[in-house]
Amino acid sequence: MAEKLNINIKDALKQQEDLQTFKKADKLAKKPKRQTTQVSIYLHKDELEYLDDMCEKEFIARNAYMRKLLVKDMELNKILKDKGINITEFKETMIRKALDI
């Protein structure tokens, strides 16, 4: 009788494990999959040092920082485009104003 009980406990544990696996699979299936592409960039030493400094200041990984910059640039470009402003001229003007040229 003890053997039967042992086997039944093992079976119950196995079934519980399988059930948890199915629950996890269902949860993963419901998650929207992000379409991503890996991008490599080549940086000079000073560019890499700057990137590392900025990442350290913001407590963020290199790839997350680069993505953050890209998203900010996309948002700015969309705003300027919606207002009918030439993006290149706007950026050059802002740089000149910032540098008092």
Q: pLDDT (tens digit, 9 = 90+) per residue, 59-80?
A: 999 999 999 999 999 998 899 8
Of residues 28 and 68, more confidence is placed in 68
Please give the model's pTM, rounded to 2 decimal places. 0.55
Place of tokens 């269902």: 26
- The answer to whether residue 29 scores a pLDDT higher than 90 is no
* Rounded percentage of the chain residues whose pLDDT exceeds 70: 77
Which helix (DSSP H) or strand (DSSP E) does residue 19 occupy?
helix 2-30
The whole-number pLDDT of residue 62 equals 94
The whole-number pLDDT of residue 100 equals 83
Note whether 77 and 87 are within 8 A (CB): yes
Quick one: pLDDT band at residue 10, thresholds 50, 70, 90? confident
As a whole number of angstroms, the distance between CA 84 and CA 73 comes to: 16
pLDDT averaged over the chain?
A: 83
